[in-house]
Copies of this chain bind each other. A is one copy, B any other.
Amino acid sequence: MARKDTPEQAEFREHCRRWLGENRPAPPAVRLPEMAIEVSTEDHMGYLSDWQNKCWEAGLVGSDYPKEYGGGGNHGFLRIANQEMSKAGTPFLINVIGLGMAAPTILHHGTEEQKRLYLKPLLAAEEIWCQGFSEPGAGSDLASAQTSAVRDGDNWIINGHKVWTSLATFSKWMILLARHSNDHKYNGLTYFVAPIADTPGVTVRPLIKITGGTGFNEVLFEDVVISDNMRLDEIGKGWTVAMTTLTHERGAAEGAGSGGGAGVEERIEGLVALAKKTPRGNGTAWDDPVLRDRIIQVAIRANGLRQTMRRGRVEGLIDHPMRLPLQGKVVMTELMQDAAAIGMEIAGAASSLYIRDENAPDQGDWPLGYMNSYGMTIAAGTSEVQRNILGERVLGLAKSK
């Protein structure tokens, strides 16, 4: 059954609509990237953290968090705020790792003091967060993390190398998975919130992507001292805490507060528009039945994804509680990838032209989007790992590893 708004929720929805209608910010001088994790300039960062701050002030961010931690103290408001922001097409929320991963983890595993300390500046985008899970030797196999945390009185000494840390150059905090013991793969992990801005021993270096763009970073820890009160939950519970984080990360693929699924439908509309404007023979690429068949295949997948999200909320039409939610990430990211590949096929010769070429179709967005799509099918659990999870948790097949 679809959730119906309660009277309070209906009122809040109305508030969101009105406020978003009245407060839509003017676009920035330079076009924003597609996603928060691609933001790489101070200008964009300033623009976007201002916007999130305003949204927070208006009660559209953190609406379901307790008031004492800077939230609105409501129930079921977050979903409404996200829906309305998505509909309004306002800019995405910049503190995406904070909102999607750090905040729920802190709320679930943090001490009272930690919740009071970290949540409000996070929601208000006063402090940006990043994630320190992946390492050069620990990609899909996160639990093999080797970054070490050695106890030293009331402190911990951190040494190691984290990679794929989006937003690290702008971040004050990192959620950090580290190894306090080599005796056990999983139980040897402990979870911290680590300060990384202006911290002695921390080096943040941008990683250059296949696209030539930045956005990802690597973060090196050399004898970095952090206080034991920055530990989240017990020593040895790091893997459990990380699972909380990852559960929310997967949900985040549905686009918590950041436009979300809209990206897919826009991509498909863009594909149809590209085909219709690209000359081919005496007509356009849209007149090529083979290309059109491919475009319609992805259009059907895009609509299927939308209807699956809708069905996911109809209790009577769900076969297994995790079956639809766990599909979102792999379905969306592979769809985006395939759509971009078809865009390149439509562009043909002109797919060679890149983002600074004045003749590039859609400003080079198709080759750019195609390359970027691999970030999505690799990060946050590769498509291969996602399929393991689906087979094992939903269909009950034997573990593959």
Decide if A28 is an interface residue (CB 8 Å cutoff): no
Q: Which of A265-303 contact B (CB under 8 A)?
A: 288-290, 293
C-alpha spacing A293/B290, complex, angstroms: 7
List B contacts of A288 (CB < 8 A): 289
C-alpha spacing A290/B289, complex, angstroms: 6
Min distance, Cβ A46 to any Cβ of chain B, angstroms: 49
How many copies of this kind of chain does the complex include? Answer: 2
Min distance, Cβ A245 to any Cβ of chain B, angstroms: 31
Min distance, Cβ A292 to any Cβ of chain B, angstroms: 9
Min distance, Cβ A43 to any Cβ of chain B, angstroms: 47
List B contacts of A289 (CB < 8 A): 288-290
C-alpha spacing A154/B182, complex, angstroms: 59
C-alpha spacing A158/B110, complex, angstroms: 67
Q: Which of A288-321 contact B (CB under 8 A)?
A: 288-290, 293
Min distance, Cβ A252 to any Cβ of chain B, angstroms: 33
Residue of B nearest to A288 (CB): B289
Residue of B nearest to A289 (CB): B289
Residue of B nearest to A294 (CB): B290
Min distance, Cβ A289 to any Cβ of chain B, angstroms: 4
C-alpha spacing A344/B289, complex, angstroms: 20
Min distance, Cβ A143 to any Cβ of chain B, angstroms: 20
C-alpha spacing A150/B288, complex, angstroms: 68
Contact flags A175-198 to B (C-beta < 8 A → 1, else 0):
000000000000000000000000
List B contacts of A290 (CB < 8 A): 289-290, 293
C-alpha spacing A361/B62, complex, angstroms: 64
Residue of B nearest to A290 (CB): B293
Residue of B nearest to A293 (CB): B290
C-alpha spacing A288/B293, complex, angstroms: 11
C-alpha spacing A289/B293, complex, angstroms: 10
C-alpha spacing A293/B291, complex, angstroms: 11
Min distance, Cβ A76 to any Cβ of chain B, angstroms: 46
Min distance, Cβ A253 to any Cβ of chain B, angstroms: 29
Min distance, Cβ A140 to any Cβ of chain B, angstroms: 16
C-alpha spacing A289/B289, complex, angstroms: 6
Min distance, Cβ A342 to any Cβ of chain B, angstroms: 14
Contact flags A191-225 to B (C-beta < 8 A → 1, else 0):
00000000000000000000000000000000000
Q: Which of A43-102 contact B (CB under 8 A)?
A: none
Contact flags A242-266 to B (C-beta < 8 A → 1, else 0):
0000000000000000000000000
List B contacts of A293 (CB < 8 A): 290
C-alpha spacing A123/B171, complex, angstroms: 78
C-alpha spacing A360/B293, complex, angstroms: 28
Min distance, Cβ A387 to any Cβ of chain B, angstroms: 16
Min distance, Cβ A297 to any Cβ of chain B, angstroms: 10
C-alpha spacing A293/B293, complex, angstroms: 11
C-alpha spacing A290/B288, complex, angstroms: 9
Q: Which of A131-179 contact B (CB under 8 A)?
A: none
C-alpha spacing A388/B280, complex, angstroms: 43
Q: Which of A329-366 contact B (CB under 8 A)?
A: none
C-alpha spacing A82/B142, complex, angstroms: 55
Min distance, Cβ A398 to any Cβ of chain B, angstroms: 13
Q: Can you give 5 contacting A-B residue pairs, CB < 8 Å?
A: A288-B289, A289-B289, A289-B290, A290-B290, A290-B293
Q: Which 5 A-B residue pairings sit nearest by Cβ, starting from the closest? A: A289-B289, A290-B293, A289-B290, A290-B290, A288-B289
